[in-house]
Amino acid sequence: MSESALSAPILPPATLGMLGGGQLGRFFVSAAHEMGYKVWVLDPDPHSPAGRIADFHLVAAYDDYAALDRVAAECAAVTTEFENVPAATLDYLAKFVPVRPGAAAVAVCQNRIEEKGFLAGNGLPHGPYAAIRSDEDLRAADAALFPAVLKVARFGYDGKGQARVADVDEALAAFHQFKGEPCVLEKLLRLDFELSVVLARDEAGAVRCFPAAENRHRRGILDVTIAPAQSAPAGLRDEAQVVAARIAEHLGYVGTLGVEFFVCEGVLYVNEMAPRPHNSGHHTIDACDVSQYDQQVRALCGLPLGVPRQHSAAAMVNLLGELWYADGHATGAYREPDWRVLADVPGLRLHLYGKHHARPGRKMGHFTVVGEDQAAVLAQALRARGAIGVTDE
């Protein structure tokens, strides 16, 4: 489908298509319903969180072309909630309906080698790296890259498919452990802290950025997001927004985009791009005039983007599957966490995703604490985090 001219807005009660049924898709469905749209979800998991609240859940693989034909026939436009939907699927659907973001943009973000090449080719800040496709590539890598992190180019997330390596021998061992999958070798940078920027870009190129947030990780998974970022001076937060907007422009991106940054000795480096709403943007539901999911609906449907004003300080805490086990491991007794300890915390909003089974490391929900004072909000969130059983182990 050609979109050389601006498309006519898609208005309620049109039906929208969502590829992917996780919690990001669930929040999209909720936002779309609030705005009067219907939503079809395509996801192979019959218990998917988004599918459970959608108007229709099509249980099928992402490369099931009979299912894609049904989506194209019933939906006015299609989006996605995770980056690993095959680009060929997006290309196919785009022949019939608007697909935002488009396959070309998603393909860049799907592959770390492509992503790094995109950053380098467009003069965007990134750390030293090498593309690794063979043992010979590792042996030829600049010694100055070590110590480093070896990351699989595809499908790695939440710390999976990554290994810290001190030298070439360790890198070769990790590469073989990854079964020779293409990888990137990234120099291990001295990290001050991590930032992220979530933005929306519309078909006309208008960009609206949420304030930069600060992220803390535990065992490679996002643990706490502080918004606005506490450790970054205003100038650095502004610079992160500018870089994120440049990324969206160079990608020709339409939709909601998350950009993760490392801050090292006061300098910004792009870590990753996510062609979808981002875990670090969950707080926008409770702390901003419009959420990242509202913006996703608006960009998909060709509506004016909202003004992403943050009206309250916020701290978001992820709730992972180990909380559902008495000993914090899958070997312990399975039970529901005691949500009563969160019920009387001022300014705390609990969001559970409705996943049918908890396992350690799986994102099962989050809570956000909002208020007027950033330090007080963070302290309150960390106390609640401990009370529900999240530990630093």
- Binding site members for ATP: 112, 151, 156-162, 186-189, 194, 217, 271-272
Burial class (CB in 10 A: 0-12, 13-18, 19+), 336: exposed
Q: Is 161 left (phi over 0), alpha (psi -120 to 50) or beta?
A: left
Helices 292-301, 23-34: axis angle to 10 degrees equals 70
Name residue, tokens 């488009």.
102
Q: Are 165 and 224 in contact (CB under 8 A)?
A: no
Question: Residues within the annotated binding site?
Answer: 112, 151, 156-162, 186-189, 194, 217, 271-272
Cα separations in angstroms, 72 against 25, 77, 98: 18, 8, 9
Angle ∠(28,68,92) on CA atoms, nearest 5: 100
**CA angle at 300 for the pair 12 and 11, rounded to the nearest 5°:** 15
Which residues, 6 or more positions from 4, have their beta carbon under 8 angstroms from its beta carbon? Answer: none
